[in-house]
């Protein structure tokens, strides 16, 4: 009888049965010790905690639940940043879904070739794997070594994956962002160590040091957050948050006080939402520019063979980085050179000339050129003033545009047309094709790689197309740290889902879920609580009563 | 009668049988203190205390005890309102000998204000109380005058049922229920003092006429009665409600025990004679044709004839009259400064604060089938009585109305609920529970929700069982109590859907699948209800399976789905994916013969919601799970926050005052920053380890010299220390 009842009762409290009965039937000394410890670890009194358990949704969720137990997965760059370029930098991911997150961004070379990369990554603990990190669109960001350390044999006693990247700030930030996009959250200062401590990995004396460290760091973080929240960014985030709260107020008031309020004007509400979505996109774009400021630009120089791309690179970087010959197809691989454009670090990528070819080596080079173009922040399309705008050029640019589209990038890199070999051109021709390509290209610049003429115009053009004008325009200049960026991204995702909800004509309550999420994300940047704000707003705005 | 008897029997027996698994395991560690034996012996006898357990009462208690057995109870509930009734019933149903003390036997479960139950968020509370085995839902289902579902098209989580109720019938029905429980004793009395034992534990209560009643658990549900004072214009008198005397003396007694009290204000509008109202020009508001129910128990689902409400509006004359006489109102005249609820502002508040609004809606609601009184909803006022009739007569339809009762405001004492833990037991006095308006809430539903929890916990405490806590994420009841005990509230608290962070998971339709298993385990759900519940869940589960497997192609059905949803229907589509399309309801399946006739409307709703919103529900679930894992870390209750130098000064102060039970609660206290929470986590963890090391060393030392019995004594001390 009793056992059948237990079976009846147990299903809904399976997750924490030891909380209910912290003492066993057989109080021998060892089990007592064990229970004492457990009692103190999990509950400080014999109270029963009732968790949310909905029988109806249990079946579908049980597997999902296991994957999300724990307190979220965090990621951060754990090697020092900002110094000179180091050989290796490490991005560490820790938490219950660390392997899943890493599996989304990391492709082991072996498996990628064999199975097309669609099988979930199942790493063996403490075995190094070599592979690539891909971004959301499947572009290769960096080649890395992945070091999986599965729980509990890791620093935090959670699943940990460390990605050993090239020690370049740009690479590291891109890899980190890919991890964040794959579902990790940015680690707080000292959070890895905090977790290591909370999970029993560190001893007491170490713990006290951490406490000091963290309180110092969070004060510093607060200061830096404050510093970042001045000026345009802060007012934009604030106004977005206020708009979110206003909309929430309108919606929530109707949910709690239906018959005391006039009906809602839905079209205007939807308009407001799309305006906000647009504003947020603007903010993110600006944040992206800001990231560029910090992490540098990647500029890909593409074009048909023998238009003078390599000469351009050499002239720009004032070096003999690339081999220059009269032979078409000299450059086979991507050649990098670092330059500084008005103080902004930039990496020039000279690529193989893109053409139909039977040469296997050159074919690979062409592929790499295309990849470089897709991953770049600015694309410079070089043509020769001697040949003018040829059919080959048209084909090439069409190819790039379509592959950009198929990669479905949110932001396509702006393109600049460079007319090289400006010294030996028939002048009248130029005017016409400047007109032809003005739709595709944001800027047209004439250069002569041999004399270096036009390079400074090119630099200006690069800054201009990325909105990085050297003239400081107060409205659009702000710095955003990774944390703020993450919250902006979270808000944007919420708006995207909100948009879907509206399109799918889901009831109003579902709009509030994502609107609230967006408001929460925005308020994380400014650091306040929204729930009371919504209520206060409801009561000050509407007349409600018995 | 034939059907009633088996029910009664099952009620008497199920709690006993049910609780056995708990005893079997719980008692293991107590067996050494011999309570195991006395525990089981006492059980069949209505759990009378052994004399030895009263030895600490002092000689005074002993004398009284020896004379009259019936003055000893397991639980005493003070107050017979919506919290008190729910508490007393829960306690009595759990087998505790329960005494209900009330100022006036004829005002049990009275609805002194709006004769209605439910509404957004409040209806969820009612469903949840019912799912746990409470009474309020059944009462509202039995005594309704009109029922409407609000927010029908705004999403399953905010859909809300509201019932206008017959307030006399409601009170009479509840009185019958309360009187018919053999474990429950009712007595008219005014409690002026709580009796405290040596260990800061409650021992009983003392009444105005000098009677002492003893019990190890006492629930105070004083409503608006503690030092209550009613106001009409400038005139005031001590009263809990119009025509009922206030309860005096208890506030001072509680203050002398170190409790903080404060004052709140609320009001109720005038009542008019419906025979004097001209309804012809007013907009009628009918009830729903298809009636919905609060209770999950189909036995209460008996349809009755519905009554109509009417809608009228304030006019420019109304506004002028109020503006001309603002200095005659307590708030603007400045002679009352207690805080009223923002949710029910007086009509003068509305007109002053929303100056540009030309007119406000006023609802006329019947108070019963046999009384002529009409409740004028939205029209509460602090104006003097001489102006009230003139004011009422500015409303269309009420030009010639007769006023039966004037509007009045009431001020009363409450105890800011940070002084309670989430079991609703006070932190200062063991065994003393607070529920309802004494905790600063407003509303019958909020009161009932607290009542059932304090009733359950009072009964469990008297029996030596661990108390029950509903987590914030589990229910609106949990959210309500968590808000009460963590936020330092200084205005009447009303439940709103926007107070719940994950309301999509806390719907009316799943209140039973969330809470009925708990109600069953506690012992408030009898076999009949449990069988009903289980077969319902089974039907829902099977239906979801069926919809997943049945596929349809083309035909009229697919065509209609395509037009309704605006989306194409592919061949061999499952019914499940059809139900996921926008605007497609289960009804459409029924219409084309793809529905399941064995399911009730409510079960079909459940199926539809589970399928249609599965994605959202999953996302919220996983979101919640992450939060839960972080927030449910428990904090020791005796933490010395002032010694934690890593905390900010403000949060040291706030944390010491509120004494949160979990990290999550701590983070919800205003003024406690995320950095403080991190510092707190570290402090707690390092202290836990220090303590652990110490006890281990001590144990090893004592284990080396002493025998097995010596090692067991610290066990009990741990239990006692942590149980407080």
pLDDT value, residue A540: 62
Question: Which residue in B513, B630, B703 is closest to A56 by CB distance?
Answer: B513
pLDDT value, residue B718: 29
Question: Which residue in B157, B467, B518 is closest to A509 by CB distance?
Answer: B157
Q: How far is A403 from chain B (nearest CA, A)?
A: 31
What's the longest Cα–Cα distance across chain B? 92
Distance CA B356, CA B19 (A): 61
Provide the token pair at B599.
């399911």
Is any Cβ of chain B less than 8 angstroms from the Cβ of A188? yes
3-state SS class at B467: coil
Look at residue B189 and tell me whether its pLDDT is greater than 90.
yes
Q: How far is B508 from chain A (nearest CA, A)?
A: 12
pLDDT value, residue A337: 81
Residue matched to tokens 């009949």: B528
Is any Cβ of chain B less than 8 angstroms from the Cβ of A34? no
- The pair phi, psi for residue B551, each rounded to 5°, is -115, 145
Helix (H) or strand (E) holding A143: strand A140-149
Please give the residue that has the higher pLDDT: either B657 or B89: B89
Flag if B468 and A48 touch (Cβ within 8 Å). yes
Please give the residue that has the higher pLDDT: either A207 or B446: B446
Q: Sign of the C-alpha dihedral, residues A43, A44, A45, A51?
A: negative
Q: How far is B292 from chain A (nearest CA, A)?
A: 18
Please give the residue that has the higher pLDDT: either A465 or B6: A465
- The pair phi, psi for residue A316, each rounded to 5°, is -65, -45
Contacts of B618 in chain A (CB under 8 A): 57, 60-61, 64
Q: How far is B497 from chain A (nearest CA, A)?
A: 6
Contacts of A510 in chain B (CB under 8 A): 155, 504, 613, 616
What are the residues facing A377 on neighbouring strands? none
pLDDT value, residue A221: 44
- B277 pLDDT band, cuts 50/70/90, is very high
Mutation to test the B interface, candidates A22, A33, A45, A269, most B Cβ within 10 Å? A45
- B632 pLDDT band, cuts 50/70/90, is confident
DSSP states of B210-221: S-EEE-SEEEE-
pLDDT value, residue A477: 46
pLDDT value, residue A530: 61
Helix (H) or strand (E) holding B161: strand B160-165
Flag if A208 and B353 touch (Cβ within 8 Å). no
pLDDT value, residue B279: 94
Question: Which residue in A64, A208, A259 is closest to B618 by CB distance?
Answer: A64
Helix (H) or strand (E) holding B559: helix B555-565
What are the residues facing B413 on neighbouring strands? B263
Distance CA A531, CA A248 (A): 10
- B431 pLDDT band, cuts 50/70/90, is very high
Q: How far is A407 from chain B (nearest CA, A)?
A: 27
Please give the residue that has the higher pLDDT: either B337 or B273: B273
DSSP states of A485-521: HHHHHHHHHHHHHHHHHHHTT--HHHHHHHHHHHHHH
Flag if A2 and B540 touch (Cβ within 8 Å). no
Distance CA B581, CA B571 (A): 15
Alpha helices in B463-488 (DSSP H): 476-486
Look at residue B2 and tell me whether its pLDDT is greater than 80.
no
- Torsion, CA A209, CA A211, CA A212, CA A213, rounded to 10: 80
Flag if A208 and B626 touch (Cβ within 8 Å). no
Contacts of B118 in chain A (CB under 8 A): none
Contact between A312 and A418 under an 8 Å Cβ cutoff? The reply is yes
Flag if A69 and B423 touch (Cβ within 8 Å). no
Question: Which residue in A36, A70, A211 is closest to B629 by CB distance?
Answer: A70
Flag if A215 and B675 touch (Cβ within 8 Å). yes
The number of C-alpha atoms within 13 Å of A383 and in the hemisphere containing its C-beta is 25
Q: How far is B262 from chain A (nearest CA, A)?
A: 22
Provide the token pair at A192.
């890895």
- The pair phi, psi for residue B185, each rounded to 5°, is -115, 140
Q: How far is B342 from chain A (nearest CA, A)?
A: 7
- For A399, A423, B95, the CA distances from A449, given in Å and listed in that order, are 26, 9, 96
pTM summary value = 0.72
Distance CA A247, CA A513 (A): 12
Chain A residue closest in CA terms to B159: A255
Contacts of B620 in chain A (CB under 8 A): 513
Contact between A149 and A111 under an 8 Å Cβ cutoff? The reply is no
Which residues, at least 6 apart from B326, have a Cβ–Cβ distance to it below 8 Å?
A: B332, B333, B348, B352
Provide the token pair at B706.
């002493």
Contacts of B712 in chain A (CB under 8 A): 27, 32
Is any Cβ of chain B less than 8 angstroms from the Cβ of A218? yes
Contacts of A57 in chain B (CB under 8 A): 510, 610, 617-618, 621
Q: For chain A, list residues with pLDDT below 70.
A: 1-53, 57-71, 80-85, 111-119, 189-190, 202-233, 259, 286-295, 343, 406-412, 425-439, 467-483, 526-546
Query: Which residues numbered 235-294 in A keep a CB inside 8 Å of some CB on B?
Result: 252, 254-260
Chain B residue closest in CA terms to A59: B541
Contacts of B683 in chain A (CB under 8 A): 211
Distance CA B720, CA A228 (A): 51
* Greatest mean pLDDT range, A474-488, B345-359, B390-404: B390-404
- B723 pLDDT band, cuts 50/70/90, is very low
Flag if B344 and A546 touch (Cβ within 8 Å). yes
Provide the token pair at B172.
């009479």
Contact between A132 and A104 under an 8 Å Cβ cutoff? The reply is no
Q: How far is B56 from chain A (nearest CA, A)?
A: 24
Average pLDDT over residues B454-475: 93
3-state SS class at B162: strand
Average pLDDT, chain B: 84
Burial class (CB in 10 A: 0-12, 13-18, 19+), B401: buried
User: Quick one: which of B426, B446, B340 has its CA closest to B121?
Assistant: B446
pLDDT value, residue A50: 55
Flag if A252 and B708 touch (Cβ within 8 Å). no
Length of chain A: 546
Chain A residue closest in CA terms to B711: A29
Count other Cβ atoms within 10 Å, centred on residue B627: 17
Flag if A260 and B353 touch (Cβ within 8 Å). no
Contact between A90 and A76 under an 8 Å Cβ cutoff? The reply is no
Average pLDDT over residues B299-314: 94
Question: Which residue in B24, B344, B423 is closest to A2 by CB distance?
Answer: B24
pLDDT value, residue B721: 28
Mutation to test the A interface, candidates B469, B675, B676, most A Cβ within 10 Å? B675
Question: Which residue in A65, A194, A543 is closest to B354 by CB distance?
Answer: A543
Contact between B183 and B41 under an 8 Å Cβ cutoff? The reply is no
Look at residue B55 and tell me whether its pLDDT is greater than 90.
no
- For A367, B379, B399, the CA distances from B272, given in Å and listed in that order, are 86, 12, 12
Is any Cβ of chain B less than 8 angstroms from the Cβ of A545? yes
DSSP states of A34-99: HHHHHHHHH-SSS-EEE----HHHHHHHHHHHHHH-SS--EEEE-S--SSSPPSEEEEEEESTTHH
CA B357 to chain centre: 35
Contacts of B617 in chain A (CB under 8 A): 57
Contact between B268 and B230 under an 8 Å Cβ cutoff? The reply is no
Count other Cβ atoms within 10 Å, centred on residue B24: 13
Question: Which residue in B121, B626, B699 is closest to A71 by CB distance?
Answer: B626
Flag if A255 and B120 touch (Cβ within 8 Å). yes
Which residues, at least 6 apart from B5, have a Cβ–Cβ distance to it below 8 Å?
A: none
Question: Which residue in B269, B670, B719 is closest to A46 by CB distance?
Answer: B719
Distance CA A378, CA A278 (A): 23
Contacts of B679 in chain A (CB under 8 A): 211, 214-215
Question: Which residue in B471, B617, B646 is closest to A215 by CB distance?
Answer: B646
Contact between B163 and B300 under an 8 Å Cβ cutoff? The reply is no
Contact between A184 and A106 under an 8 Å Cβ cutoff? The reply is no
Helix (H) or strand (E) holding B310: strand B309-313
Count other Cβ atoms within 10 Å, centred on residue B250: 25
Is any Cβ of chain B less than 8 angstroms from the Cβ of A30? no
* Angle at B423 (CA atoms; ends B417, B426), nearest 5 degrees: 50
Q: How far is B125 from chain A (nearest CA, A)?
A: 14
pLDDT digits (tens, 9 = 90+) for B573-629: 899 999 998 889 999 999 888 888 889 989 999 999 999 999 888 888 887 877 777
* Angle at B614 (CA atoms; ends B612, B616), nearest 5 degrees: 105
């Amino acid at each position: 009888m009793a056992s059948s009842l237990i079976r009846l009762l147990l299903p809904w409290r399976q997750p924490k049965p030891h909380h209910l009965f912290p003492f066993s039937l057989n109080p021998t000394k060892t089990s007592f010790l064990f229970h004492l410890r457990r009692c103190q670890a999990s509950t400080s009194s014999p109270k029963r905690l009732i968790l949310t358990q909905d029988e109806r949704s249990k079946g579908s969720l049980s597997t999902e639940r296991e994957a999300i137990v724990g307190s979220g997965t965090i990621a951060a760059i754990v090697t020092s940043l900002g110094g000179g370029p180091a050989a290796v930098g490490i991005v560490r991911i820790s938490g219950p879904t660390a392997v899943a997150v890493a599996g989304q961004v990391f492709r082991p070379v072996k498996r990628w070739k064999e199975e097309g990369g669609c099988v979930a990554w199942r790493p063996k603990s403490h075995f190094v794997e070599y592979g690539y990190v891909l971004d959301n669109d499947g572009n290769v960001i960096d080649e890395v070594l992945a070091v999986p350390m599965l729980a509990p044999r890791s620093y935090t006693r959670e699943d940990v994956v460390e990605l050993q990247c090239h020690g370049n700030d740009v690479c590291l930030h891109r890899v980190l962002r890919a991890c964040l996009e794959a579902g990790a959250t940015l680690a707080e200062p000292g959070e890895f160590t905090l977790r290591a401590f909370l999970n029993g990995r560190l001893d007491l004396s170490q713990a006290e040091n951490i406490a000091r460290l963290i309180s110092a760091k969070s004060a510093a973080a607060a200061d830096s957050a404050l510093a970042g929240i001045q000026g345009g960014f802060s007012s934009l985030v604030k106004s977005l948050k206020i708009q979110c709260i206003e909309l929430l107020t309108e919606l929530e008031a109707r949910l709690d006080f239906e018959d005391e309020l006039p009906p809602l004007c839905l079209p205007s509400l939807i308009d407001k939402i799309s305006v906000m979505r647009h504003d947020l996109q603007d903010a993110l774009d600006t944040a992206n520019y800001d990231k560029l400021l910090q992490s540098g630009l990647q500029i890909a120089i593409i074009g048909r063979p023998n238009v003078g791309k390599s000469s351009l690179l050499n002239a720009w970087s004032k070096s003999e980085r690339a081999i220059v010959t009269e032979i078409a197809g000299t450059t086979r691989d991507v050649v990098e050179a670092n330059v500084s454009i008005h103080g902004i670090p930039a990496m020039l990528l000279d690529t193989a000339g893109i053409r139909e070819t039977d040469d296997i080596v050159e074919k690979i080079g062409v592929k790499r050129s295309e990849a470089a173009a897709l991953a770049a922040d600015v694309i410079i399309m070089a043509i020769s003033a001697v040949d003018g705008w040829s059919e080959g050029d048209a084909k090439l640019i069409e190819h790039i545009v379509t592959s950009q589209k198929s990669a479905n990038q949110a932001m396509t890199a702006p393109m600049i047309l460079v007319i090289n070999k400006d010294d030996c051109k028939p002048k009248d021709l130029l005017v016409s094709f400047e007109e032809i390509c003005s739709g595709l290209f944001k800027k047209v610049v004439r250069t002569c790689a041999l004399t270096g003429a036009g390079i400074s115009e090119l630099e200006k053009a690069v800054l201009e197309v990325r909105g990085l004008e050297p003239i400081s325009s107060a409205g659009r200049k702000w710095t955003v740290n990774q944390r703020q960026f993450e919250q902006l991204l979270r808000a944007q995702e919420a708006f995207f889902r909100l948009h879907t909800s509206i399109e799918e004509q889901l009831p109003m309550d579902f709009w509030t879920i994502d609107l609230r999420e967006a408001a929460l994300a925005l308020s994380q940047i400014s650091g306040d609580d929204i729930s009371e704000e919504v209520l206060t707003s409801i009561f000050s705005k509407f007349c409600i009563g018995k | 009668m034939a059907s009633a008897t088996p029910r009664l029997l099952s009620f008497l027996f199920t709690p006993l049988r049910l609780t056995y698994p708990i005893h079997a395991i719980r008692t293991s560690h107590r067996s050494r203190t011999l309570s195991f034996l006395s525990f089981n012996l006492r059980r069949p006898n209505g759990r009378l205390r052994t004399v030895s357990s009263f030895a600490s009462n002092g000689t005074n208690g002993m004398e009284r005890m020896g004379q009259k057995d019936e003055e000893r109870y397991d639980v005493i509930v003070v107050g017979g309102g919506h919290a008190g009734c729910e508490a007393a019933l829960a306690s009595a149903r759990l087998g505790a000998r329960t005494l209900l003390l009330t100022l006036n036997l004829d005002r049990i479960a009275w609805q002194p204000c709006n004769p209605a139950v439910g509404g957004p968020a409040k209806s969820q509370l009612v469903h949840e109380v019912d799912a746990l085995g409470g009474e309020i839902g059944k009462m509202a289902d039995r005594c309704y005058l009109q029922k409407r579902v609000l927010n029908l098209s705004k999403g399953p989580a905010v859909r809300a049922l509201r019932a206008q109720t017959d307030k006399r019938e409601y009170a009479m029905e509840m009185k019958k229920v309360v009187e018919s429980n053999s474990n429950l004793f009712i007595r008219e009395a005014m409690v002026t003092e709580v009796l405290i034992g040596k260990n800061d534990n409650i021992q009983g209560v003392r009444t105005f006429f000098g009677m002492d009643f003893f019990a190890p658990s006492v629930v105070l549900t004083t409503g608006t009665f503690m030092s209550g004072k009613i106001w009409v214009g400038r005139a005031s008198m001590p009263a809990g409600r119009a025509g009922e005397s206030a309860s005096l003396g208890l506030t001072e007694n509680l203050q002398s025990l170190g409790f903080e009290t404060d004052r709140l204000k609320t009001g109720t509008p005038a009542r008019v004679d419906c025979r004097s109202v001209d309804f012809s020009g007013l907009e009628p508001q009918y009830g729903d044709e298809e009636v919905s129910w609060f209770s999950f128990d189909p036995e209460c689902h008996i349809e009755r004839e519905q009554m109509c409400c009417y809608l009228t509006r304030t006019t420019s004359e109304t506004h002028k009259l109020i503006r001309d006489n603002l200095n005659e109102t307590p708030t603007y005249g400045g002679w009352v400064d207690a805080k009223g609820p923002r949710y029910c502002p007086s009509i003068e508040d509305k007109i002053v604060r929303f100056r540009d609004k030309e007119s406000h809606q006023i609802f006329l609601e019947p108070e019963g089938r046999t009384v002529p009184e009409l409740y004028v909803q939205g029209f509460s006022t602090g104006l003097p009585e001489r102006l009230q009739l003139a004011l009422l007569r500015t409303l269309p339809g009420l030009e010639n109305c007769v006023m039966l009762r004037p509007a009045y405001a009431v001020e009363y004492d409450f105890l800011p609920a940070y002084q309670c833990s989430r079991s609703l037991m006070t932190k200062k006095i063991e065994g003393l529970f607070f529920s309802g308006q004494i905790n600063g809430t407003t509303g019958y539903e909020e009161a009932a929700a607290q009542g059932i929890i304090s009733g359950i916990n009072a009964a469990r405490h008297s029996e030596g069982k661990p108390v029950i806590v509903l987590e914030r994420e589990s229910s609106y009841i949990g959210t309500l109590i968590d808000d009460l005990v963590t936020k330092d509230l200084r205005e009447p608290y009303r439940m709103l859907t926007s107070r719940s962070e994950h309301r999509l998971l806390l719907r009316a339709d799943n209140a039973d699948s969330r809470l009925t298993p708990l109600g069953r385990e506690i012992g408030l759900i009898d076999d009949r209800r449990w069988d009903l519940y289980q077969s319902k869940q089974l039907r829902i589960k099977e239906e979801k399976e069926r919809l997943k497997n049945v596929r349809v192609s083309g035909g009229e059905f697919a065509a209609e789905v395509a037009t309704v949803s605006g989306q194409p229907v592919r061949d061999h589509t499952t019914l499940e994916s059809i139900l996921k399309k926008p605007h497609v309801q289960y009804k459409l399946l029924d219409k084309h013969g793809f529905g399941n006739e064995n399911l009730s409307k409510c079960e079909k709703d459940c199926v539809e919601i589970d399928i249609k919103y599965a994605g959202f529900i999953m996302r919220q679930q996983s979101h919640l799970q992450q939060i839960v894992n972080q927030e449910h870390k428990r904090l020791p209750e005796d933490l010395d926050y002032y010694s934690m130098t890593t905390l900010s000064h403000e949060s040291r102060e706030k944390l010491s005052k509120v004494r949160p039970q979990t990290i999550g609660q701590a983070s919800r206290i205003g003024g406690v920053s995320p950095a403080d929470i991190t510092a707190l986590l570290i402090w707690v963890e390092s202290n836990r380890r220090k303590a652990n090391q110490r006890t281990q060393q001590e144990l090893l030392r004592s284990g080396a010299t002493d025998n097995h019995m010596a090692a067991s004594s610290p066990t009990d001390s741990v239990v006692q220390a942590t149980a407080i």
